[in-house]
């Protein structure tokens, strides 16, 4: 018999927030790896490098990075101390774990 589905954690909100902070830390690492990929696409038979394709690839990675950073910043704002506005959303442990 299946046990009834229950909420496992009480602090789901703050748990999610901390994982988003992890994501913010990981994002630049992944981005760097993606930016280094062109180094491994060396093709010796070509006389000139495939600059056009590589530039499209790099700008695409760049655009995705900006988009992800934008989405993350929307979430992470809540974890920041409200510096000058009067409203004070609940603090979700800005220092991480």
The residues of the shown chain that bind another protein, judged by CB under 8 A, are 21, 24-25, 27-29, 31-32, 35-36, 38-39, 42, 47-52, 54-56, 58-59, 62-63, 65-70, 72-73, 76-77, 80-84, 94-95
The structure tokens listed for 50 are 């495939």
Q: Which is nearer to another protein, 11 or 49 (CB)?
A: 49
Query: How far is Cα 44 from Cα 35, in angstroms, rounded to an integer?
Result: 20
Minimum separation from the CB atom of position 25 to another protein (A): 5
Minimum separation from the CB atom of position 24 to another protein (A): 4
Nearest to 69 by CA among 33, 24, 34: 24
Question: Where does residue 21 rank: exposed (0-12), middle (13-18), buried (19+ CB within 10 A)?
Answer: buried
């Amino acid at each position: 018999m299946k046990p009834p589905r229950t909420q496992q954690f009480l602090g789901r909100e703050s748990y999610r927030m901390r994982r988003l902070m992890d994501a913010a830390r990981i994002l630049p690492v992944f981005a760097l790896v993606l930016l280094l990929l062109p180094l491994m696409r060396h093709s010796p038979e070509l006389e000139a490098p495939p600059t056009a394709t590589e530039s499209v690839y790099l700008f695409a990675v760049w655009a995705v990075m900006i988009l992800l950073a934008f989405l993350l910043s929307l979430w992470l704002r809540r974890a920041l101390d409200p510096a000058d506005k009067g409203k004070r959303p609940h603090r979700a442990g800005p220092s991480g774990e």
